[in-house]
Amino acid sequence: MMTTRRISPAVRQAVRQRASFCCEYCYSQEKYCPDPLSVEHIVPRASAGCDDDANLALACQGCNGRKHVAVSAIDPVTEREVPLYHPRRDV
């Protein structure tokens, strides 16, 4: 039986504050989002991502749902596989 690790409320609040209560992908403000923002893994657990706060981002449901467990995608212009946007490294 697989156990689900939970991110503590204190870490969740720290992630929310660090993100200034905005989605770290599309910058939507939490107060204007129809659904609550969630703390998600930049590199998903399924891809060996960890629970360190540096790997956690605040995301709206739209961005989190589109990204899901992906870490890369095919660029439609170059047709090459490229990494997805990383809110800690990319501008």
Per-residue pLDDT of the chain (91 residues; tens, 9 = 90+): 444 678 899 999 999 999 999 999 999 999 999 999 999 999 998 888 899 999 999 999 999 999 888 999 999 999 999 999 999 899 8
Domain extent listing, the chain? 9-83
Residue 29 has what pLDDT? 96
At 62, which amino acid appears?
G
d(CA 86, CA 78): 20
Looking at residue 59, its pLDDT comes to: 96
Residue 1, pLDDT score = 46
The CA–CA distances, whole Å, from 80 to 25, 35, 71 equal 22, 33, 14
Residue type, 4: T
pLDDT score, position 85: 92
What spatial distance separates the first Cα and last Cα of the chain, rounded to whole Å? Answer: 40
Q: What b-and-e string marks burial along 73-86, b requiring 16 or more CB atoms within 10 Å of the CB? A: eeeeeeeeeeeeee
- The whole-number pLDDT of residue 4 equals 60
